[in-house]
Amino acid sequence: MISKILTTGLFVAALSFSTSAFAADAVKVQEGASGKMMASMCAGCHGVGGKSAGDAPDLAGLAAKEVFEALKDFKGAKQDKKNTIMARIAKGYSEADMHAVAKEIATWK
Ligand code: HEC
């Protein structure tokens, strides 16, 4: 039993170690390119330059603050809205990510 707990602990420690190593790599990518890369993913639904051709609303013309606030709201969405597309996407974004992507999208006119 004890050894099982120990192994689990070690496994978790190893896991968090590898996650932080991965995060360090992600930070390297983030310098310069990340806001742009994240925004190009958004363009898949919201259209190139935020001019949507499909069901997703246009993002062109939104200010960085509006995009950031919207993402934060989606991330903190209540249970009944948790399964919407944007809530699922926003869940994976840190505040720094949201700022970076919002800043990029604000350049879409
Ligand atoms: C899979 C398609 C999809 C992707 C990818 C996507 N969105 Fe959305 N987004 C939507 C839909 C659909 C809505 C409409 C609200 C809803 O149904 O949740 C929306 C709504 C929004 C809104 C609110 C706009 C308004 O006028 O109310 C913002 C802001 C937004 N998305 C930003 C983003 C950002 C930033 C990204 C990239 C990180 C992104 N979206 C990626 C589909 C998508």
User: Could you tell me the distance, in angstroms and rounded to a whole number, from the CA of residue 94 to the centre of ligand 1?
Assistant: 16
Mean pLDDT of 33-52: 93
Q: Name the residue with tokens 């990029």.
A: 104
Tell whether the model's pLDDT for residue 53 goes beyond 60.
yes
pTM of the model: 0.77
What is residue 32's predicted lDDT score, i.e. its pLDDT?
47
Confirm or reject: Cβ of 77 under 6 Å from ligand 1: no
Residue extents of the structural domains in the chain: 33-105
Domain 33-105, CATH number (from 1.10.760.10, 3.40.190.80, 3.40.50.720, 3.90.1150.10):
1.10.760.10
How many other β-carbons are positioned within 10 Å of the β-carbon of residue 40?
13
Cβ atoms 59, 105 nearer than 8 A = yes
- Residues 63, 39: Cα–Cα separation, whole Å: 14
Which has the closest alpha carbon to 71: 108, 63, 79? 63
Confirm or reject: Cβ of 85 under 6 Å from ligand 1: yes
pLDDT-derived band of residue 81, with 50, 70 and 90 as boundaries?
Answer: confident
Q: Which residues contact 74 (CB under 8 A, 6 or more apart)?
A: 81, 84, 86, 87, 89, 90
pLDDT-derived band of residue 14, with 50, 70 and 90 as boundaries?
Answer: low
